[in-house]
Structures are given as C-alpha cells and as structure tokens.
Amino acid sequence: MTTYDELLQRVLGDDTSGKPVREPATGELIGYAPLHSADDLESAISRADRAQPGWAALGDAARANALRRAADLVDGSSEALVELLAREQGKPLNGPNARFEVGAVSTWLRVTADLQLDPQVVVEDENLVAELVYEPLGVVAAIGPWNWPLMIGIWQIAPSLRMGNTVIVKPSGYTPLSVLALISILNEALPADVLIGISAGRDVGALLAAHRRIAKIMFTGSTATGRSIIESSAGNLARLTLELGGNDAGIVLPDTDPEAIVGDLFWGAFINTGQTCAALKRLYVHESQYENVIDALVRFSTSVPLGPSLDETSLLGPVQNQAQFEIVSGLVEDARARGARIVTGGSPAKELGDLFYPVTLVADVTDGDPIVDEEQFGPVLPIIKYTEVDEAVRNANRLNVGLGASVWSSDLAAASEVAGKLKAGSVWINRHGTLHPLAPFGGVKGSGYGLEFGVDGLKAVAAPKVIHRPRA
C-alpha cells in the first residue's frame, strides 16, 4: 500500500524549481509541481502517437483488463490519494468529498471496463449487409478542471483508453499534484507512453489544443475557455467533447414538503462547497412554500460542519483558490447592495482561514441580478420566489446554459411534466446532480456538447466506420 509521502515523492522528485502548490485550507506548501515546456509537450505527443497502434492492437479485452487492474491499484493507494486530494483541492475527507471522489475513480474504471460496444448491423437485405463498428481516434487530449480533478479526469481517461486511444492529460494548474499522482498509479497497469501527464501553464495548454496530432479534445471548464479550445482545434478539425459552464436551476413546486426534500436540496447545491459544474445554483420556489423552504435549508445547514480539509468531522471546506473566492464574495456583496436578504452566512469565515466562506442563502432576489445570472461556483444559493409554474420554467430556461436542472415535488406526474419543459442535458426529479456511470451526461446551449459515460461515452472517443459487404 502506497503511503502519502511515497505518492507525493513520485510526483515531485527532488525538484523545487516548479510551481508552488499550497493547501487552500491552511496556506501550507505541499510541494512544487513540475512545469513542463512546449518541448516536453511535443515529446509527450510523439511518444503517445508511437504507442497508440500497439495499445490498440492489444485488443478490447486486454484493454478492459488493464482498466480493472488500474482500479485495483487505485484502491490499494486510496488513502494516500485521498489525503493528497484533500490537501490540494481543499475538499474534506468525508461526506461527498475526497474519499467519495477517489472511490468514484475506481468505480468508473470498472464500469468502463465492463461496457460492451458491439458491432451493429444497420442494413440487412437480400443484397447487402452494412455493419457499424468503432475504431480508435489516435491521441486524445484530456484537459481537466480543479473542482473534481480525479473524478472528471477519469471520465476522460477511462473511455479513451478503453477504445484504444492514448491520452495526454493536462490538469488544472490549481490541482496538478493529485492528477499526476493518479496517472502514476494508473501507469503501473498500462504500457509505457499510453497515458502521459503534462503539468504546464495556459500557453502550453493552448499548444496542446491546437496540435495537429491530437485527434480528440475532452475539456471541462469555463465557457470562455471552451470557445478558445474550439478556435484552437479548428486547424486539424479535432473532435470535441466540452462540458462548460452551468448555472443549474431547480424549481420547487407548490405541493412539495420542504422537510422531505431538504437534505437532497442542500447537497444538490452545496456538494464540494458548491464548486461543482452541475450543482444547483438558482432555486425557484413557489410563493406558498418560499419561507418554509428557506427555513428548512437554514436548519439543515447548521448540521453540516465547515472546517479544515483533513479534519474527519468536516463536510464543507474552503473555496479552492483566491480568484474563485473573490467571485463568490463579490456576488454576495453585490446582492447585499441591491437589497437582497442574506438569510445566513454572507461574510468570510476568517477564523478558519483566508479561503473559507460559509453556506450563504440569499433571498428576495430576481432574475437579472448578477447573483442569479452569473454562475457563483461556491457556497452561495440565490432563492427566487415565483407565482406561476410557467413563469419559473421560462426563467429557468432564460440563460444560455443548460448543463442540469431539477424539479422538486410530491407529485411525480406534475414534476415529470415540468421536467420535460426544461432545457438542460440532465434533469433530475427530487434530487440534483447525481450522476451514474451508465447514464449519458452532457450539456446544451452554452454548457457545451458531446456525451460522456456509458456506451455513448465510448462512441464519443472513437471513429465510426460502416463496412458494407455483399450478402453471402
């Protein structure tokens, strides 16, 4: 079993010339992340390109078994990975946080290994049989975020490898160490140069997105960066899967019992301290239940401890970085200045550290206010009162985002009817943001395009080919 110190040493070596990485919770130095150059990137792509035909030639069963071995290795080093993730990203150990995320990595590896994508006969008549098959694309660029660096990383890595591609991974500059550590573990189960990590700044990232030997780019991050990747990739027409910004809406219908939904409602909004792409970020509540829902959320929030990432009792942690902290606090201050009601929270928890912000519920806001229209990506939830359900649906659909949405009701038929009207890639009823490795996931509008997970996720990292043959 790998210890934390051994795992960190694998990633850091003895080099102290790289980028310093500090704990969001304490400001303590964890270590210096490597800073790879444009030449390093060129070498990595060349190596991955050379390794790809041999990896594909191993066959589907061998690649699936390699993913299963990789999952076992992740489990064997899980506590070391958990500690590094908690220290670097800031999320606490327990609850839907660091241990949950590392557990999801091995789960996704195993589920991806077990998926079946068989040839499909699409035409069969007296003269012809046409069969649809899927082949590797080549080298895939996996560009990940800082909020769920390991879990989202494996969403990109596992299907790409399963389909016979090789992968260049560029983690976020905020969370490079945990991703590089995961890659080092996965590589114990993989041939050389099938999976390579590049830790670098945006300039090298831009070169990766524009490189002519990259066949596919998978990116999770902001809509603005997604647009830049689209432009950069145009030169070689690389295929794209983009999971971009979200500002997910939830609608609480008038028949809902607040006490029955409050736990799921809270975690739908505040999982990972609100730093989740498909978290609930705008809550529309019918006027008959408005104060009841607010009161239930306030009471529930008092039972969820905010504290240091390595404290076993913490369930909410710091905002991951200063830039995001300023966005969160700025939106709250703007709402306060506009006359919003700050129900709970609303000021930094400086007694815990520089980047701690408490659960903040902001009431009496309206569509058009920045705190409603701009994705806060932190522990803040604006709550908007509505009168007619159609009004809430219109406002939920109003923005140019559509990653997720939710409907909350005691009447499943009524909730399903509303769910059908919401424009989002995923719509949940009486929950929000819960993902399943077999259920396709992706956004619409400005939240990106392309599907991940399940068989559709395998197809997204492969090239379709139709073989036409005469009927025997």
170-209: per-residue pLDDT in tens?
999 999 999 999 999 999 999 999 999 999 998 999 999 9
Q: Where are the domains of the chain?
A: 4-244+445-470, 248-429
pLDDT at 13: 66
The two tokens of residue 358 are 């408490």
452 is a catalytic site residue: no
The beta strand positions in 39-152, using DSSP E, are 120-124, 128-136, 139-143
Tell me the pLDDT tens digit for each residue of 241-272. 999 989 999 999 999 999 999 999 999 999 99
351 is a catalytic site residue: no
Q: What is the number of helices (H) and of strands (E) in the chain? A: 16, 18
Mean pLDDT of the chain: 97
List, in sequence order, every residue forming a beta bridge with 316; answer none if it has no partner. 306
Q: Is 466 exposed, middle or buried (0-12, 13-18, 19+ CB in 10 A)?
A: exposed
List CB contacts of 457: < 8 A, sequence separation 6 or more. 112, 155, 159, 440, 451
Whether residue 84 is predicted with pLDDT greater than 80 in this model: the reply is yes
pLDDT at 472: 77
Burial 360-370 (b: 16+ CB within 10 A, else e): bbbbbbebebe
pLDDT at 16: 76
Q: CA-to-CA distance for 463 and 219, rounded, in angstroms?
A: 18
The beta strand positions in 263-332, using DSSP E, are 280-286
Burial 435-457 (b: 16+ CB within 10 A, else e): bebeebbbbebbbbbbbbbbbbb
List CB contacts of 387: < 8 A, sequence separation 6 or more. 286, 287
- What mean pLDDT is predicted for residues 349-362? 98
Q: Which of 277, 351, 375, 391 is labelled catalytic?
A: 277
- With cut-offs at 50, 70 and 90, classify the pLDDT of residue 14: low
pLDDT at 275: 98
Q: Hey, what long-range contacts does 300-306 have (CB within 8 A, 24 or more apart)?
A: 300/262, 300/263, 300/266, 301/266, 301/270, 301/344, 301/359, 301/361, 304/266, 304/270, 304/359, 306/349, 306/352, 306/356, 306/358, 306/359
Among 212, 58, 218, CA closest to 154: 218
List CB contacts of 100: < 8 A, sequence separation 6 or more. none
Whether residue 15 is predicted with pLDDT greater than 80 in this model: the reply is no
The two tokens of residue 214 are 């990259």
CB 295: neighbour CB atoms within 10 A? Answer: 14
Whether residue 154 is predicted with pLDDT greater than 90 in this model: the reply is yes
List, in sequence order, every residue forming a beta bridge with 284; answer none if it has no partner. 251, 384
Class (C level, CATH) for 248-429:
alpha beta
Pairing of strands 248-252, 280-286: parallel
Tell me the pLDDT tens digit for each residue of 360-403. 999 999 999 999 999 999 999 999 999 999 999 999 999 999 99
List, in sequence order, every residue forming a beta bridge with 197; answer none if it has no partner. 169
pLDDT at 17: 80
- With cut-offs at 50, 70 and 90, classify the pLDDT of residue 1: confident
Q: Which fold has domain 4-244+445-470?
A: Aldehyde Dehydrogenase; Chain A, domain 1 (3.40.605)
Whether residue 104 is predicted with pLDDT greater than 80 in this model: the reply is yes
- What mean pLDDT is predicted for residues 436-465? 97
307 alpha carbon, distance to own chain's centre: 23
Q: Quick one: three-class SS letters along 143-192?
A: ECCCCCHHHHHHHHHHHHHHCCCEEEEECCCCCHHHHHHHHHHHHHHCCC
The H or E element containing residue 404 is strand 404-408
Q: Which of 79, 88, 101, 243 is labelled catalytic?
A: 243
- With cut-offs at 50, 70 and 90, classify the pLDDT of residue 12: confident
- What mean pLDDT is predicted for residues 265-281? 98
